[in-house]
Amino acid sequence: MPELPEVETIVRSLQPLVTGRRIVDAELPSSTADGAGSAILRRILREPAWRAPNDFVSAIRGASILGVRRHGKHLVFDLRSSNGAKYRRCLLIHLGMTGRLTCEETPEPRSPHTHLILSLDGSLDKSGRWLHYTDIRRFGRWQLLDASSEALRSLGPDPLEITFAEFAALLRSRRAMLKSLLLDQRFLRGLGNIYADESLFRARIHPAALAARLTREQAKRLYRGIRETLRLAIAAGGSSIANYVDGLGNSGYFQHEHRVYRRTGQPCVRCGSRIRKMLIASRSTHFCPRCQRAGRPVRKTASAPGRKVT
């Protein structure tokens, strides 16, 4: 589910609630149900290999949360161990498609799909003492790593941090179709299906265009399109289509600003043509066939015969 803007929103909502707090305990509600529950936890806590889910609980118990930040689509909790004050670790959480991480005022699971609950210390009058992790489809992952771990380094640059010169150089070195490339976390970290489509629409570039073939002008538009889309989406609190909420349980509203994503058959907001859907890299891809032509750069719509947006 969550892409860069959603994870960023979750991180911002959690920061004031968890920073400086200690993890007193962790509960694994789905592991107690039956034998299958333990298998569920094993999958969520796959890396590094734990002998049993409870070993993860022992490892994390007592750690202090120094801060929480975003790395691509991952949430990263920087931790200081209880024993050996110098020992720093990272709790890496990827929410997959349907993962939720919310602060609740109760330790009771709120859904049959709640898999982990972290109890945080702190004054009782402050809300949000329990961090609930819920994941219906269970594509999410929790990893506990040394702070020096290489695990995060395999991802590409953050689209909000990269410079245009770096971005242009990356594009030139790749021949893949842009849509595939934008979904590749080793190329850029943080984009998913929604924001890849929305960025390409804003850049007026066809999703099947080849990276290395882009003109400098197109590369510039893509760079700006990605960053503008992400900034607007963060400002709107992300896109809530099915499951996503921030750390306080609030929905985002960028889904109302989508221009192509899941708008198949509806008129393009720019030219009125019907939005089309095609498959690229076996992912549904939405685009305007008129504004995002394959090949040569598209003319400005101002020069096109006036077509009313309905």
Partner DNA sequence: ATCGGTACCTGCACGC
Partner DNA sequence: TGCGTGCAGGTACCGA
Minimum CB distance to DNA smaller for 3 or for 8: 3
Minimum CB separation from DNA for residue 15, in Å? 20
From the candidates 12, 69, 283, 293, give the one annotated as an active-site residue: 283
Measured CA to CA, the distance from residue 79 to residue 90 in angstroms comes to 6
Q: How many helices (H) and strands (E) does the chain have?
A: 8, 10
Minimum CB separation from DNA for residue 179, in Å? 8
Minimum CB separation from DNA for residue 128, in Å? 21
Minimum CB distance to DNA smaller for 138 or for 307: 138
Minimum CB separation from DNA for residue 19, in Å? 25
Minimum CB separation from DNA for residue 27, in Å? 20
Q: Which residue has the tokens 């609030």?
A: 250
Return contacts of 258-266, CB within 8 angstroms, 24+ apart.
258/194, 258/198, 259/198, 259/201, 259/202, 260/197, 260/198, 260/201, 260/286, 260/287, 260/288, 261/193, 261/194, 261/197, 261/198, 261/286, 262/286
From the candidates 21, 70, 73, 202, give the one annotated as an active-site residue: 73
What is the Cβ-side half-sphere exposure of residue 155, based on CA atoms within 13 angstroms? 19
Minimum CB separation from DNA for residue 103, in Å? 19
CB atoms within 10 A of CB 258: 20
Contacts of 80 (CB under 8 A, 6+ apart): 63, 64, 66, 87, 88, 89
Minimum CB distance to DNA smaller for 23 or for 188: 188
| Residue 2 falls in the annotated catalytic set | yes
| The token pair that represents 227 in the structure block | 């960053």
Q: Which of 18, 10, 7 is nearest to 248 (CA)?
A: 10
Q: CA-CA distances (angstroms) from residue 127 to 77, 110, 192, 244, 281? A: 19, 16, 32, 21, 44
Minimum CB distance to DNA smaller for 23 or for 191: 191
Question: Are the CB atoms for 21 and 64 separated by under 8 Å?
Answer: yes
Minimum CB distance to DNA smaller for 12 or for 283: 283
| Residue 3 falls in the annotated catalytic set | yes
| Residue 179 falls in the annotated catalytic set | no
Question: Are the CB atoms for 266 and 259 separated by under 8 Å?
Answer: no
| Residue 202 falls in the annotated catalytic set | no
From the candidates 3, 6, 27, 104, give the one annotated as an active-site residue: 3
Summarize as ranges the residues that interact with DNA (CB under 7 A): 1-3, 6, 43, 72-73, 94, 96-97, 112-113, 136-139, 174-177, 180-181, 183, 185, 191-194, 211, 239-244, 280-284
Minimum CB distance to DNA smaller for 21 or for 187: 187
The residues that are catalytic are 2-3, 73, 283
